[in-house]
Amino acid sequence: MAKWGQGDPRWIVEEREDGTNVNNWHWTERDATSWSKGKLRESLVGIVVENEAGRCQISDLKQVEGEASCSSRKGKLIFFYEWNIKLTWKGIIKESGAKHKGLIEIPNLSEENEVEDTEVNVSKKKGDGDVLKDLMKTAGTAKVREALGDYLKALKTEFTMGMILPTKAAATQELTIKRKLSENTLQAPLGVRIPTVALHMTELFDAGVERLYSIFTVKELVQKFSKSPAILEAEKGGKFQMFDGNVTGEYIELLTNEKIVMKWRCRSWPEEHYATVVLNFVPTPGQTELQLDCKGVPVCKEENMKFCWQKQHFEEIKGLLQLTTLNG
């Protein structure tokens, strides 16, 4: 073994305490299979498509078979993924109220094909309702491919964080960037400084303020739109848990039919780090405008947070409101 400062420079530790994989020269590999299954479920389940004839929604990830991994060599990332996916969908015809179910099969999602060329097969149980099947074949297929693209983007960014270790020059640059971000960071326990961003979103709902407010504070309604068990203590200091424990937090303030303030975190966030979510309910003629302000979202989780609220909250709540109206 060469002494410090001698030998092949590829193996010399460049001011790193761990002395591991200097300049990313060695081959490293990380199994992304388990992470991918969760991300595919998150990206695909809950997709909604709608037109004047009907409304369809992907209701469950029935099967996901395959594997995924990421390898690093000489500072370059190499991805491998191969998936066979089956999803169930359900829909309702607006005029008649008739409900139908079907299946979506993605037989080969792999790095060999572009996402836009990925095969997506839509089928429906026997009977009427071809208008819903056609909706899923067109708009549904487009949204499925978009969601698959989101998964691949996350695989190549979110999942690979930390695989390419910083060299001395990169570490200096990273330190400069962190200093610039310091004005927009939160101090987390254990002394970790987390770069954060603030989000603002608005959405209109075809419901009165009381009805929309109740969907966020009544356990049974939360379980309906989230399609999973929930723990809910809708009072100041009360705890909540949704989406199989992937979202947890605490109520800071509740002004009935006006405002909800929460401490909020996703399971994948750094330990004990919370954002602050403020929901303002603004009545408009025949509708309610929901104003969402969120501070303290980790920078690397910004897109996930937007997806969570747009797809898993807003769209699901609209679906719940519509079904409630149709069932009268």
pLDDT digits (tens, 9 = 90+) for 296-326: 998 888 888 898 899 889 999 998 888 776 5
Contact 188, 194 (CB under 8 A): yes
Give residue-wise pLDDT tens across range 268-295. 888 889 999 999 999 999 899 999 999 9
Stretch 184-194: mean pLDDT: 47
Strand partners, 109: 83
For 240, residues 6+ apart whose C-beta sits below 8 A from its C-beta are 230, 231, 232, 233, 234, 247, 248, 249, 250, 251, 262
Which pLDDT band holds residue 165 (cuts at 50, 70, 90)?
Answer: very low
- CA angle, residues 261, 204, 96, in degrees to nearest 5: 125
- Its pTM stands at 0.47
Length of the chain equals 328
Q: Which residue has the higher pLDDT, 62 or 158?
A: 62
Exposure on the CB side of residue 230, measured as CA atoms within 13 A: 24
Contact 215, 284 (CB under 8 A): no
